Amino acid sequence: MNFRIGHVLIRLNNLEEAINDFQNLGYIVTYVSKSKYSRHAMIYFSDQSFIELFCAINNPLIRRIMYSATALLKPLNANLVNRFKLYLGDGNIVDWALNSVPKEEYVSNLLKLKTKLSLSDSKSMKRKDLNNNHIEWQLSLPKDVQVPFFMSEYDPEVRHSYEHSNGVLGIKDIYVETTNRDLIDKFKMLFPKVDSDQIFRINDEQHLYVTQGFNNRITKISLFDSNGKTLYLENSII
């Protein structure tokens, strides 16, 4: 099984302010849709990875109500509810996705993964793009929320060749902190090319760095630019 980092999800308090901040850092940011109620925006890279920015639920009362409601919904779809609770947390880099390489291996990879991981059935998703065209994809959610979810490519395929003024070309590495030793064993299964107990080779260009600590979270991601320089986006509490 071969994978690449498909995208990273970053939760923010104010989407408009976040878009402005990223634009000032030299990124091209696009809304997911033309709706004035859109709560998502994308930063697409030439290596076909992307960052998804989404707006947090800031009202403390609504967050508590939604968090409490997850207990009622959990019997219906535990994996989905566990992910949703993750998105109601405090950090801003909340999740990441793996895409199969080649893309045609998505279904066969899921069948292999289900023999080793607790995974949800593949769920069909869809949305409209800026031109009002339908885009469809599939995803599967592991029970363990620190394991990335698995996603197919968009259909029709969405390809981007944005040239960000800061020269960033794509996502390079993911850094994770965990209290769970079992997570390391799961990553060893996903990424057999292990450089050490803390460094996992996702592919020849991308790595996952895992440290044992006092929290379960993504601590940062790294990006690479056209000059070979590495840039970091750190996780923070919002």
* pTM for the full predicted model: 0.89
Distance CA 62, CA 71 (A): 15
Give 15-36 pLDDT, tens digit per residue: 889 999 999 999 999 988 766 6
Specify whether the CB–CB gap between 95 and 86 falls below 8 A. Answer: yes
3-state secondary structure of 1: coil
CB atoms within 10 A of CB 145: 19
Question: What confidence category does residue 195 fall into, taking pLDDT thresholds of 50, 70 and 90?
Answer: confident
Which candidate, 159, 156, 197, 171, places its Cα nearest to that of 98? 171
Give 72-122 pLDDT, tens digit per residue: 555 556 777 778 777 776 669 999 999 999 999 999 999 999 999 999 999
Q: Could you check whether the bond before residue 75 is cis, i.e. omega within 30 degrees of 0?
A: no
Angle of the 60-73 helix axis to the 78-87 helix axis, nearest 10: 170
Q: Which two tokens stand for residue 149?
A: 């979810």
Q: Share the mean pLDDT of the chain.
A: 87
Residue 142 has pLDDT above 60, yes or no: yes
Question: What confidence category does residue 210 fall into, taking pLDDT thresholds of 50, 70 and 90?
Answer: very high
Give 32-49 pLDDT, tens digit per residue: 876 665 678 999 999 999
Higher pLDDT, 55 or 212: 212
Secondary structure E strands in 56-188: 93-100, 123-128, 134-140, 149-151, 168-178
Average confidence (pLDDT) over 159-188: 91
Distance CA 100, CA 113 (A): 12
Backbone angles phi, psi at 129, to 5 degrees: -90, -170
Higher pLDDT, 67 or 6: 6
Distance CA 50, CA 61 (A): 32
Distance CA 15, CA 21 (A): 10
Q: Which residues make beta-bridge pairs with 155?
A: 136
Q: Which helix (DSSP H) or strand (DSSP E) does residue 5 occupy? A: strand 3-12
